Amino acid sequence: MRKSYAVIGAVLAASLALTACSGNNNNDSGSSASASPSASGSASPSASASASASPAAVTGTSFENWGTYGFDLNNTRHVPYKEITADNANELGVVWSADLKTLDKDVKNGNQAYPVVVDGVIYISTSGNQVFAFDAVTGNQIWHWKPPAEEAANYSKAGIIANRGVAVGDGKVFMLTIDCQLVALDQKTGELVKKVKLSDYYPDVTLENGYYETTAPLFYNGIVYIGSSGGDNGVRGFEAAFKASDLTPAWDSPFWTVPPKGQDWLANSKFQGGGAVWNPPAIDAETGIMYFAVGNPAPDFYGADRPGANPYTDSVVAVEAATGKLVWAKQEISHDLWDYDAAASPMILNATVKGKKQKIVVEGGKSGQWFAWDAATGDVVWDGIPFAKIDHPEPTPEGVLVSPGALGGENYAPETYDPATNYVLIPGVEQPMLIKSAKNQDEAATPDMPGAKAFGTSMGETPADVKTYGTITAIDVNTGKQAYQVETKDPQRGGLTSTDTGLAFFGELDGKINALDIKTGKIVWTFQTSGDNIQAAPAIFTVDGKEYITFTSGGTKPKVHVFALGGDKTQGAKGTADTSDAHDAKK
């Protein structure tokens, strides 16, 4: 565990708007019929289909799926496909793209959705909780669901308007909505099967109390797992489980990451709390243990009113997937004062460590440090290996630059693991924040939010003359040492996906998608899309043996793109990497 520095004061956090997927799992066929409107949200078939159309045949007869957020339950984001190589990557081109706003004018700007692909169908969510199903090969829209307008109108109450994907299983497509509902749609038609308010079971979990949901759920063994992926001040973070069959709780209680109000370090105040679970867990199907990462305590930058280590925050927690019972928990940052969440999903690796095979759990935090623990015991394997600039000078009233900033380090963007090299690739953000010390207690503890006077706003900014950029860092899991680090023009927001041919694919904020040679760190292919920023990692799948790459892009024209060898190589206009048209977010 790395202890935080004792900074008494408030922080000017970086303020950049974020427009912020097991191989063949037990999913039903993705073929689809037309859908009729529902009283609670509406589903529609392709515009060219009629309401009475019979189920359409999806292109292809054999499929290798990207069936969940991280490809497999271990979240490795590594596929065993071999068609696309460093030698032929320059033959990649666009098979099809879909402009989501053209398909529905109510689609919101920005997109952080991680695609899920099952039996030849791509399932994509949008920032405003719409869901699209596309034929993965042709791009034909199969169905489309959108929430009721009166519910969508409330989304503006949330701190972040984003959605990072869906889960598919039990013949359904599951999604969390910004206003804290769990939705189940028919996988074939898009019609609403059921939806529940989380507050039906956990009364405080409402938009009005500071909660909102942005994470993708995870489906495993008949259960849908969700995290409290929104809000810090005054909320109690949790991981929860619901039965896929009827959306009733599968555990006796959620795993709460902070104490009840008025107990332990959580004073009876609307400000204390936090511990959000921003991204899906990893599950070891052999042991039945689930691992999830937990965010920062609140208030984010003022710790005087939340004494002690604030356990479970900034941590990786292991629980029994069937019951939610604690197995172990390890904290990355004690008494966090910088908003250094453990935001990205953990990975489970069967890797060579110090010359021996070992099952480990790894996670990189916004602190700019990468950690590894024994999966069974939680014993430390690698403790806080730095992959970002780390600098915490003593605060002054005038302000000093602190690295990493509140955006990381590694934010929500997922890592990937390449078994051939035994490398973990980490997407990094180099964007320092300005931190000022408060002159007195009154200035530090203001009525609107503790510490707010010292930094002027809830998020602050990075000075305009300070360089910001991204990195991709390769860590050798065997030695715990850095193999190389690649600098990218813009902070890495989306994450990486790797293949058995030694390539890792990732996008950038100016709309480029790249392929990196994992052994050397050399970029071997770059394609400029239409300039919309990319803030989610690709999913890679096959149909009839042919390999496809799909990813989403955001900005003012949210899109879905699919690439394959032999596609259209016509490149688009370079983007500006400006996310000011998106929705402000810090995670």
Q: What is the pLDDT of residue 56?
A: 60
CATH value at residue 511:
2.140.10.10
- DSSP secondary structure string, 543-585? ETTEEEEEEEE-TTS-EEEEEEET-B-----------TTS---
CA atoms of 262 and 268, how far apart (whole Å): 4
Provide the domain limits for residue 291: 2-565
Q: What is the pLDDT of residue 574?
A: 63
Q: What is the pLDDT of residue 442?
A: 57
Q: What is the pLDDT of residue 40?
A: 58
Q: Is the residue at 576 inside a domain?
A: no
Closest CA to 111 of 96, 93, 99: 99
Q: Is the residue at 561 inside a domain?
A: yes
Q: What is the pLDDT of residue 211?
A: 94
Chain-centroid distance of CA 180 in Å reads 17
Q: What is the pLDDT of residue 389?
A: 98
Q: What is the pLDDT of residue 343?
A: 97
- What are the residues whose beta carbons fall under 8 Å from the beta carbon of 313, sequence distance 6 or more? 237, 257, 258, 274, 275, 294, 295, 296, 297, 331, 336
Q: What is the pLDDT of residue 220?
A: 99
Q: Is the residue at 572 inside a domain?
A: no
Q: Is the residue at 198 inside a domain?
A: yes
What does the block give as tokens for 261? 């109000």
Query: Rounded to two decimals, what is the model's pTM?
Result: 0.89
CA atoms of 118 and 24, how far apart (whole Å): 8
Q: Is the residue at 448 inside a domain?
A: yes
Q: Is the residue at 573 inside a domain?
A: no
Peptide bond just before 404 cis, omega within 30 deg = yes
* Number of compact structural domains in the chain: 1
Q: Is the residue at 575 inside a domain?
A: no
Q: Is the residue at 579 inside a domain?
A: no
Q: In a 3-state reduction of DSSP, which class is residue 196?
A: strand
- What are the residues whose beta carbons fall under 8 Å from the beta carbon of 30, sequence distance 6 or more? 58, 118, 119, 120, 121, 123, 133, 142, 168, 187, 188
Average pLDDT of each block of 10 consecutive residues along the chain (587 residues)? Answer: 36 30 36 36 54 59 98 99 98 97 95 98 98 98 98 92 97 98 99 98 94 97 95 90 99 96 80 92 99 94 88 98 99 96 98 98 99 99 98 87 94 98 99 80 49 39 90 99 97 98 97 98 96 93 98 92 97 57 32
Q: What is the pLDDT of residue 586?
A: 34
CA atoms of 224 and 314, how far apart (whole Å): 23
Q: In a 3-state reduction of DSSP, which class is residue 434?
A: strand
- What are the residues whose beta carbons fall under 8 Å from the beta carbon of 574, sequence distance 6 or more? 510, 511, 512, 528, 531
